[in-house]
């Protein structure tokens, strides 16, 4: 009320709004935030190479599977297969292993695209 009265009289009134006033927010900059602000190429995640994407696509097509069929077969979403084929996905060894077994081609290591050797399982 005092502020409104002073404004009506034409006096100079200085007000300042506090950030997150009345809320329980604690906002401070951490080391990670500062590191992300100075982000360079080295902080980006590695993506699946286009070579691997092509191998997945060719292996899938040679088996006569659509992206959706392959995704269903390995219990993943069709978008996951699309991301791997286009090179947008961040590689996950579990998913890569499932795709390798489903299409029968190696996707990791030196001989990418070579048939998967199916050795005896067990100890």
**What's the whole-number mean pLDDT along residues 17-22?**
62
pLDDT at 101: 92
* Residue 60: inside a domain: yes
* Residue 66: inside a domain: yes
**What's the whole-number mean pLDDT along residues 103-114?**
86
* Residue 81: inside a domain: yes
Is residue 86's pLDDT more than 60?
yes
- Answer for the pair 69, 102: CB distance below 8 angstroms, yes or no: no
**What are 21-78's pLDDT values in tens digits?**
655 555 555 556 666 666 655 556 778 888 889 999 999 999 999 999 999 999 999 9
* Residue 97: inside a domain: yes
Between these two residues, 44 and 84, which has the higher pLDDT value?
84
pLDDT at 12: 82
* Residue 104: inside a domain: yes
Number of structural domains the chain divides into: 1
The domain spanning residue 80 has which CATH number? 1.10.260.40
Q: How far apart (Å, rounded) are the C-alpha atoms in residues 40 and 86?
A: 23
* Residue 33: inside a domain: no
Predicted TM-score (pTM) of this structure:
0.60
Domain range for 103 is: 48-112
pLDDT at 32: 64
All residues at 6 or more sequence positions from 83 whose CB lies less than 8 Å from its CB, including other chains: 48, 89
Is residue 8's pLDDT more than 70?
yes
Count CB atoms within 10 A of the CB of residue 70: 25
Nearest 5°: CA angle at 114, between 108 and 86?
55
């Amino acid at each position: 009320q005092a502020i409104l009265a002073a404004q009506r009289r034409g006096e100079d009134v200085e007000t300042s709004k506090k950030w997150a006033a009345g809320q329980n927010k604690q906002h401070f900059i951490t080391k990670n935030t500062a590191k992300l602000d100075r982000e360079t190429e080295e902080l980006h995640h590695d993506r699946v190479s286009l070579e691997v994407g092509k191998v997945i696509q060719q292996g899938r097509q040679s088996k006569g599977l659509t992206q959706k069929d392959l995704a269903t077969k390995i219990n993943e979403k069709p978008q996951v297969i699309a991301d791997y084929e286009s090179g947008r996905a961040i590689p996950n060894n579990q998913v890569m292993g499932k795709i390798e077994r489903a299409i029968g081609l190696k996707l990791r290591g030196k001989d990418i695209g070579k048939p998967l050797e199916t050795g005896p399982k067990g100890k």
